[in-house]
Amino acid sequence: MAERGDREAFVTLATNDTYALGCLVLGNSLRQRAQTTRKLVVMITSGVTQPMRNQLSRVFDMIYDVNLLDSRDAANLQLLGRPDLSVTFTKLHCWRLTMFDKAVFLDADTLVLQNVDELFDREELSAAPDAGWPDCFNSGVFVFRPSEETYDSLLKFAMSQGSFDGGDQGLLNMYFRDWATKDIAKHLPFIYNVVSQAFYSYLPAFTQFKDFVKIVHFIGATKPWHHPYNTATKEVTPLPESGHNKDYLQIWWDIFMTLVQPTLDPSLREQMGG
């Protein structure tokens, strides 16, 4: 029988080379910093270039190609006039990874600071509250159980209901709608998905619980890779409008510069101004 570590995986997603850079830092944070014993999977679409695929294969155990839209989904989406759901649907593909018994999805803009392998003891669907509307969970980090049945059922649900926020978070919150009220064990502590802006919204709590934070999530339009980095001082410059915490940005860039950038294909390196 296979080891538990082989039947459980962290899964992330990139539809282009820029988000793939996030996946590379995330993968390295899981392996080098958090010393995970589980498999690492990255789902990619055709928007990711061949040099980047090569790069991803150095860090991830498995590269899982997904279509931005399945042919059958495309037809249905067209019928329903909901082409906006296409990126959302891409994330749902994680349920098709049935070679794993259990998995943890992580957005490409997350960063793992400490070992979180204990997440595999949780059941589907476990997730942390969203700081904006805390009766919704944030869909940047969640524990799930791959299953074709669930995948089909999620697709059907998506096509009949749509998503109240046009993304996967609104959809998943409606599908797993008893999350807020049913089982406290499915509430991951917030330290498993701390928005990098949290120090701003409630500084004393952030200060109090800072050392316990295990996963940071750089939500919003401005991602760590959009920030200026000074190669001489090795310091990142926070952008006030992004609201991201400087310490977390620095950790992201430290990993990027030491473990990712040196082996990047020159064509990719250009993109990052490295």
Does 140 participate in binding a second copy (rule CB under 8 A)? no
Contact 45, 141 (CB under 8 A): no
Site string for ligand UDP, 214-233 (x = CB under 6 A): -----xx-------------
Angle between helices 246-255 and 17-28 (to 10 degrees): 90
Among 9, 10, 11, 14, binds ligand UDP (CB under 6 A): 14
Angle between helices 71-80 and 148-161 (to 10 degrees): 20
Cα separation, 16 vs 34, in Å, equals 25
Q: Which does 15 bind (CB under 5 to 8 A by kind): a second copy, ligand UDP, Mn ion, none?
A: ligand UDP
Q: How many CB atoms lie within 10 A of CB 20?
A: 23
Of residues 165-224, which lie at the interface with a second copy (CB under 8 A)?
165-166, 170, 180-184, 187, 189-191, 198, 201-202, 204-209
Query: Which of 66, 264 has the CB closer to ligand UDP?
Result: 66
Pairing of strands 102-106, 137-144: antiparallel
Counting Cα atoms < 13 Å in the Cβ hemisphere of 27 gives 27
In the bound complex, what is the minimum distance in angstroms from residue 232's beta carbon to ligand UDP? 30
Which residues make up the interface to Mn ion (CB under 5 A)? 107, 109, 140
Which residues make up the interface to a second copy (CB under 8 A)? 128-136, 164-166, 170, 180-184, 187, 189-191, 198, 201-202, 204-209
